[in-house]
Amino acid sequence: MTEAESSHERDVDDVINDSFDALANPARRRLLVELREHDSRSEWMAVEQDRRQPAMHHKHLPRLEDKGFIHWNKDAYEVKTGPQFGNIRPVLKFLDEHSDRSDDSQ
């Protein structure tokens, strides 16, 4: 394997790991799905400001911002898609397309 191929493979692995980490938590997953439905890089979307759920503001939003999936305006409690959102968009689309299926295998 060449150095370029190895670097590309590491990049793909990083995208996959970041995507699954972001989607592993239901609160982060809901936010990303809402952003996909909102689907505008130029508009900010309000984030629910629930003081009983400080993890969103202290853990989940910072994590998504660090991965580049969102831009977060902390003062206005608003988010919009970040520069890496396109990497997770296909997974969000897949989840959306398959989330309403019932189990017909019985």
Residues 59-76 have pLDDT tens digits of 999 999 999 999 999 888
What is the arithmetic mean of pLDDT over 42-62? 81
User: What is the SS3 assignment for 63?
Assistant: helix
Between 13 and 86, name the one with better pLDDT.
Answer: 86
CA dist 63 to 40, 72, 89, 94, Å? 21, 11, 17, 22
73 strand-pairing partners: 78
Question: By 3-state DSSP, what share of the chain in percent is helix, strand and coil, each rounded to 5?
Answer: 60, 10, 35
Check pLDDT > 80 for residue 95. Answer: yes
Residue pLDDT, tens place only, 31-45: 999 899 887 656 888
The Cα–Cα gap between 87 and 74 comes to 23
Predicted confidence band at 14 (pLDDT cuts at 50, 70, 90)? confident
